[in-house]
Structure 1
Amino acid sequence: MTAKPCKYQDIGKRSQDLFVKNFTLGAVKFNLKSQSQAGSGFIIEAFNEIESGKVMGSGEFKNAFPGTNMNMSSKWFSDNTISTEVTINDKLFPGSRLGLLGKFDPKGGNMAGGVQAEYKNEFMLGVVEASLTGDGKPMLSPSFVFTSDGWLAGMHCYVDPNSRKVDQPQFTAGYETGNYSAFGLLNQRNELMGSLYQKVSSTLETGILVKFPYGKAKETTFQYALNWALDGSHRLQMKINTRGQISAAVSKNFGSGISISLCGHLEGKNIKAGAHKIGMGIEMEL
């Protein structure tokens, strides 16, 4: 397996997932989703913060229109904001994708919208999004990812058409195969970040994240994570960093699309501080 073009935010996703997935620290999370073969479906999420008791949630409903290459999704958030996206695939030319985006806050009366254009082929994926915020100011967000023989290189930034200012530029480059990946990222804050991923065996995955503030007297952080399939239904995940923070998660797949995970977080350098956390996740797929 060699690297395929992906969206900029998905570069190094296998390593990122090792540090994020199933670690619902300090909260209880519920996820229910369903999708038909035609592409229609829904995703319902609920999130309860254990310490504050605050409850948040969202409901997303997707509709696919067979024979038209058009899809529509609407998402409702618990703060009563509503977003809608309509996309058309491969209509202009093969590999193209055109999307219309809208967001509305009925309570505050705020509205925002945008247009997203995407093109993908065997060697590259480019996305340009033009958005209009509630204050009427336009903003462009281009990103491009190029790949060849397992090598990937990408960039992302924001552009203000009025001032012609480029903001938050990021550059990423690396190499990916079926069992291994290595990426480096440089952002506007002169931070150099690196990630490594290795599939050691069919049951064990490991990952490393390093953050190095280049040219600044700030703390360099190092994180290590593993994902170990104990058997066909049980999985153990762990991560640790140079700050002495240790997290672990255990998940069980009950079959029929139902899985439950339990996680915990320990402040190893200051055990008496009371900043330890626990969490729980429930996922159901119909």
Structure 2
Amino acid sequence: MAKCVIGEGFDPNVFDSIKLPKRPKPKNQLAPTYDELGGECSGVFGGGYPLGAVKLNFKTKIGDFAEVKAGGSLNNDSGDFFGNMSSSYAMKEHGLTFSESWDTSRTLGTGVSHEDNLVDGLKLGISTSFSADTGDKSCALKAQYKMENLALTMNVDGLGTDDSTVGGSSVFAYDKFMVGYQMAFSSENSELSKNNFAFGYSMGDFVLHTSVNKLKEYTGTIYRKVQPNLETGVQLAWVSDDSEATTFGIGCKYDLDENVTLRAKVDESCGVGLSLQAKIREGISFTIAALINARSINEGGHKIGMALDLEA
């Protein structure tokens, strides 16, 4: 039987200097805020439908610390044009982000936020706005704290105006279940302007969300990712004291390939929405969408829109 002999020049401690790479620990997913509950359906029903307008959007980044956005929208019916421009500057080592914005209604906005520096998961922010036409000024304070099983928010809007609002929300998440509450108090009316409850259930590719707003408006969404390139959704809203306010919709989003996305949706009034979004080349994408009144095709009421997005 062969024997392994360690020579005199061999250092048995040599293996102590060899360091194997450590596997990174999986980062726990943070609980969503109240406004983020049910957001999975937004990609099915909300995005990709620039209806009734022609839009141009531009975005560029300057290194890792600055981002500039500009956009314009022309309303097909009224011919009104609306444009906006915004920029943000980040100081990541200090957790600070500075932002400013301007639009064609001559409204100026500024903001400062501080995130994940004092405490992990804590974000603090202040924003102001000023209208050059009316002279109106306002200020808003916001705070958000996220951890694995809990998300809290608090905000004060309309500081400096006659109608300031104090609001807050909380979401508790356990395993696949989420329960949330949202409230807002208006100083002008001295009453609760929001008194909302929500429940969610998420399995990754299947998400169920329901909410009750002011104890009279009931909403619900169901999201299902059938395949990696196919997403479907159903949404329903019902108001207890107004039977005509009931809304219903079903939609889907299909990625034909990595450059082309198709969307379709149908609502309770037989409005059929269709959308085609194509990436022409790196940094350039084009979207065209239509909303067809299928109940009365000959009576008109159809909408069409398109958007061009540029990124450099």
| TM-based fold match above 0.5 | yes
Structure of greater Rg: 2
User: Are the aligned partners of 2:110 and 2:128 in contact in 1 as well (CA < 8 Å)?
Assistant: yes
- For residues 77 and 208 of structure 1, the distance between their equivalents in structure 2, rounded to whole angstroms, comes to 35
Q: Secondary structure at the match of 2:111?
A: strand
User: Are the aligned partners of 2:222 and 2:235 in contact in 1 as well (CA < 8 Å)?
Assistant: yes
CA distances 1:3-34 after superposition (whole Å, capped 9, x unpaired): 74223222111212211111111111111112
Aligned: 1:69 with 2:95? yes
Q: Secondary structure at the match of 2:133?
A: coil
Q: Secondary structure at the match of 1:200?
A: strand
Aligned: 1:267 with 2:302? no
Q: State the shift of 1:163 in Å.
A: 6.5
Alignment equivalent of 1:234, drawn from 260, 264, 267: 260
Q: Which residue of 1 aligns with 2:167?
A: 141
Q: Which residue of 2 aligns with 1:171?
A: 197
Q: Secondary structure at the match of 2:243?
A: coil
Q: State the shift of 1:115 in Å.
A: 1.5
Letter in 1 for 2:41: S
Q: Which residue of 1 aligns with 2:50?
A: 24
User: Are the aligned partners of 1:140 and 1:159 in contact in 2 as well (CA < 8 Å)?
Assistant: yes
Aligned: 1:114 with 2:114? no
Q: State the shift of 1:140 in Å.
A: 0.5
- For residues 197 and 41 of structure 2, the distance between their equivalents in structure 1, rounded to whole angstroms, comes to 18
Q: State the shift of 1:190 in Å.
A: 0.9
- For residues 135 and 58 of structure 1, the distance between their equivalents in structure 2, rounded to whole angstroms, comes to 24
- For residues 213 and 101 of structure 1, the distance between their equivalents in structure 2, rounded to whole angstroms, comes to 34
Alignment equivalent of 2:155, drawn from 129, 138, 146: 129
User: Are the aligned partners of 1:3 and 1:147 in contact in 2 as well (CA < 8 Å)?
Assistant: no
- For residues 147 and 114 of structure 1, the distance between their equivalents in structure 2, rounded to whole angstroms, comes to 28
Give unpaired runs (5+ residues) of structure 1: none
Q: Secondary structure at the match of 2:43?
A: helix
Choose 201-210 or 116-125, whichever is displaced more: 116-125
Q: State the shift of 1:44 in Å.
A: 1.2
Q: State the shift of 1:216 in Å.
A: 4.3
Give unpaired runs (5+ residues) of structure 2: 1-26
Identity of aligned pairs, percent? 24
Choose 208-217 or 256-265, whichever is displaced more: 208-217
User: Are the aligned partners of 1:209 and 1:223 in contact in 2 as well (CA < 8 Å)?
Assistant: yes
Alignment equivalent of 1:245, drawn from 248, 251, 271: 271
- For residues 5 and 105 of structure 1, the distance between their equivalents in structure 2, rounded to whole angstroms, comes to 36
- Deviation >6 Å, runs of 4+: none
Q: Which residue of 2 aligns with 1:94?
A: 120
Q: Which residue of 2 aligns with 1:184?
A: 210
Q: Secondary structure at the match of 2:42?
A: helix
Q: Which residue of 1 aligns with 2:246?
A: 220
Alignment equivalent of 1:160, drawn from 179, 186, 199: 186
The 1:4/1:197 distance shift into structure 2, 3 A limit, reads farther
User: Are the aligned partners of 1:4 and 1:147 in contact in 2 as well (CA < 8 Å)?
Assistant: no
Q: CA RMSD in A?
A: 2.1
The 1:226/1:219 distance shift into structure 2, 3 A limit, reads same
Letter in 2 for 1:76: W
- For residues 2 and 245 of structure 1, the distance between their equivalents in structure 2, rounded to whole angstroms, comes to 41
How many residues are treated as equivalent by the alignment? 286
The 1:209/1:99 distance shift into structure 2, 3 A limit, reads same
User: Are the aligned partners of 2:152 and 2:168 in contact in 1 as well (CA < 8 Å)?
Assistant: yes
Letter in 1 for 2:269: R
Q: Secondary structure at the match of 1:15?
A: helix
The 1:217/1:256 distance shift into structure 2, 3 A limit, reads closer
- For residues 150 and 65 of structure 2, the distance between their equivalents in structure 1, rounded to whole angstroms, comes to 25
Letter in 1 for 2:134: G
Q: Secondary structure at the match of 2:244?
A: coil
TM-score by length of 2: 0.85
